[in-house]
């Protein structure tokens, strides 16, 4: 089959290109009619349509299209577009989809595409490849670019060094504004877009920075050192990317210099990278709170199952602990059946209350809002909230239970147990994440199962224990 460039035939329902300017439906998903046209164009090898309506898309739009079409269509689309395929789109898709696409591409094609990317995007793609393929791809790049990428890849995963762009603008402090402007106009190897110029000494150590507006407003004969400002917020290359993002948030930064252990300028971190970090970390925390780890929608059944099994197994163990508490009071339950009916209410309310406190605590720890200095105050607040909500809902369910079973004693017992369990839930929801964080564990991953275990055990023990004591039932 030959290419259709010479005689392109679009699908019958293709609309003019102008009508395809917006590929999204009202709900934010990619339009089904657009996907149908893309699928038909891929099947017909209609390169003209694909180049006009797919290759032209913004990287994020192309990423959404790649995620929306079938795997075999993705592979065919990448092959058909060839050099017109924007490799930056691979940074906008799930990891599974990205690896699937890259596996179908030759190393020569990847190397050619990476050569057109910013260094941070190139590293994002290269870091997931096998060592052998990565070395082969890097060997095909120009020496200078290869060195920059290797240096970025040497930094720890999820560090600022991995996220930074190695393309930046740096000038000495003794230059004049005129020299700097001439340099920006004449130098061809500078990045295509930048908003900040860094000032370095002969050893490449960072001494200051200045924004482009300062350069444009100053007279040509003014020395750079007189208008630059000190960079108080430079980021160590090995700093965790989440901590770097917090600096951006705290100081309202648009970009920040990245330096090595000796204070030498090695790259720049920009706000677009930081936005991606914030989104990724938020999604990661949300997934981990649910005990599903780093899961993607494109993952296979087997890999998804493996990621969920560990904490389900831990939860099974804690469930047996809760069951063992119930077994201690089997005589009580046999005599007073109402207790068995009401037990889920006590455990459920405690679990929900604990989850609320835990979610707030984990997020506060992630954003460094909760530390040793304010921990005591926050614990007191959560304990107060637990007691107040326990009294409120305890009284409510006590009245309902008393009327339902026509036994005021049952109402008082469940009201007391509810109050105690809500207090325990509040304390567990904040103390367990604090202890896990202190021990070096990720509270987002492991807090939920332990908080649930505490609320179940305390709830059952309080409810059944109080009932056993009140009615004088012996085992």
Residue of 318, 394, 325 lying closest to 353 (CA atoms): 394
How far apart, in whole angstroms, are the C-alpha atoms of residue 177 and residue 221?
Answer: 6
Whole-angstrom distance, CA of residue 313 vs CA of residue 311: 5
Q: Which residues contact 342 (CB under 8 A, 6 or more apart)?
A: 397, 401, 410, 414, 463
What is d(CA 453, CA 123) in angstroms, rounded to the nearest whole number? 42
Q: How far apart are alpha carbons 321 and 368 in whole angstroms?
A: 33
Handedness of CA 437, 440, 443, 447 (dihedral sign): negative
CB-based burial of residue 464 (10 Å sphere; 0-12 exposed, 13-18 middle, 19+ buried)? buried
CB 165 within 8 A of CB 118: yes
Q: Are 97 and 132 in contact (CB under 8 A)?
A: no
Tokens representing 195 are 């908003």
- Give the residue among 313, 311, 304, 278 at the shortest CA–CA distance from 445: 311
- pLDDT at residue number 295: 62
User: How are the residues of the chain apportioned to helix, strand and coil, as percentages rounded to the nearest 5?
Assistant: 65, 10, 30
- Beta-ladder partners of 24: 30
Cβ(224)–Cβ(174) below 8 Å = yes
Q: What is the C-alpha to C-alpha distance for residues 417 and 460, in angstroms, rounded to an integer?
A: 8
Q: How many residues does the chain have?
A: 475
Assess contact for 269 and 123: CB atoms under 8 A.
no
Residue 290: per-residue pLDDT? 64
Residue 439 structure tokens:
């021990």
Write the DSSP assignment of 343-409 as a string of letters: HHHHHHHHHHHHHHHHHHHHHHHHTT-S-TTTHHHHHHHHHHHHHHHHHHHHHHHHHHHHHHHT-HH
β pairing state of 196-200 and 235-236: unpaired
Burial of 259 from C-beta contacts in 10 A (0-12 / 13-18 / 19+): buried
Q: Domains (ranges, CATH) in the chain?
A: 17-158 (1.25.60.10), 170-270 (3.10.580.10), 301-471 (1.10.357.20)
Per-residue pLDDT at 401: 92
Q: How far apart are the first and last CA of the chain?
A: 83
pLDDT tens track, the chain, 475 positions: 334 444 444 444 444 444 456 889 888 889 999 999 999 999 999 999 999 999 999 999 999 999 999 989 999 999 999 888 999 999 888 888 888 899 888 899 899 888 888 888 899 899 988 889 999 999 999 988 899 899 899 999 889 999 999 889 999 999 999 999 999 999 988 888 888 999 999 999 999 999 999 999 999 999 999 999 887 789 999 999 988 998 898 888 889 999 999 999 999 999 988 988 888 777 777 666 666 666 666 567 777 777 777 777 888 888 888 889 888 888 888 888 888 888 989 989 998 999 889 888 888 887 778 877 788 898 999 999 999 999 999 999 999 999 999 989 999 999 999 999 999 999 999 999 999 888 887 787 778 888 989 999 999 999 999 999 988 876 5
Q: Give the Cα separation of 171 and 174 in Å (integer).
A: 9
Distance CA 456, CA 322 (A): 6
Torsion sign, CA atoms 353, 355, 359, 364: positive
Distance of CA 153 to the CA centre of its chain: 20
> Are 305 and 292 within 8 A, CB to CB?
no
Q: What is the CA radius of gyration of the chain?
A: 30
How many other C-beta atoms are found inside a 10 Å radius of the C-beta of residue 144?
Answer: 10
pTM for this entry: 0.65
Q: What is the pLDDT of residue 298?
A: 59
């Amino acid at each position: 089959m030959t290419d259709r460039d010479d005689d392109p035939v679009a699908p019958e329902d293709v609309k003019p290109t102008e009508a395809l300017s917006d590929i999204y439906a009202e709900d934010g998903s990619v339009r089904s009619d657009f996907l149908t046209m893309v699928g038909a164009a891929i099947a017909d090898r209609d390169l003209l349509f694909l180049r006009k309506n797919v290759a032209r898309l913004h990287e994020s739009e192309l990423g959404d299209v790649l995620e929306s079409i079938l795997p075999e269509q993705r592979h065919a689309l990448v092959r058909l577009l060839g050099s017109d395929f924007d490799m930056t789109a691979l940074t906008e898709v799930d990891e599974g989809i990205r690896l699937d696409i890259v596996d179908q591409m030759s190393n020569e094609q990847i190397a050619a595409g990476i050569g057109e990317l910013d260094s941070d995007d190139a590293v994002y793609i290269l870091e997931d490849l096998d060592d052998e393929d990565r070395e082969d791809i890097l060997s095909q790049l120009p020496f200078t670019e290869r060195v920059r990428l290797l240096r970025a890849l040497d930094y720890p995963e999820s560090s600022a060094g991995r996220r930074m762009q190695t393309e930046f603008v740096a000038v000495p402090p003794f230059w004049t504004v005129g020299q700097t402007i001439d340099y920006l106009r004449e130098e061809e190897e500078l990045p295509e877009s930048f908003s900040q110029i860094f000032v370095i000494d002969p050893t490449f150590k960072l001494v200051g920075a200045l924004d482009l507006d300062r350069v444009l407003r100053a007279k040509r004969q003014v020395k750079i050192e007189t208008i630059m400002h000190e960079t108080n917020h430079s980021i160590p290359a090995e700093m965790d990317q989440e901590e770097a993002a917090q600096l951006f948030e705290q100081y309202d930064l648009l970009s920040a210099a990245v330096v090595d252990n000796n204070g030498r300028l090695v790259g720049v971190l920009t706000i677009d990278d930081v936005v991606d970090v914030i989104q990724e970390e938020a999604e990661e925390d949300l997934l981990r709170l649910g005990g599903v780890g780093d899961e993607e929608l494109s993952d296979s059944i087997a890999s998804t199952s493996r990621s969920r099994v560990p904490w389900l197994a831990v939860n099974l163990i804690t469930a047996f602990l809760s069951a063992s508490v119930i077994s201690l009071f089997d005589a009580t339950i046999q005599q007073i059946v109402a207790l068995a009916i009401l037990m889920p209410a006590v455990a459920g309310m405690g679990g929900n209350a604990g989850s609320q406190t835990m979610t707030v605590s984990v997020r506060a720890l992630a954003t460094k809002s909760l530390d040793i200095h304010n921990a005591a105050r926050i614990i007191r607040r959560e304990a107060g909230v637990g007691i107040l909500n326990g009294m409120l809902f305890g009284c409510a369910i006590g009245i309902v239970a008393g009327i339902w079973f026509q036994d005021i004693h049952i109402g008082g017992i469940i009201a007391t147990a509810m109050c105690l369990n809500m207090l325990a839930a509040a304390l567990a929801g904040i103390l367990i994440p604090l202890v896990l964080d202190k021990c070096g564990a990720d509270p987002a991953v492991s807090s939920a199962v332990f908080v649930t275990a505490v609320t179940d055990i305390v709830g059952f023990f309080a409810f059944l224990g109080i009932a056993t004591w009140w009615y004088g039932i012996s085992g």
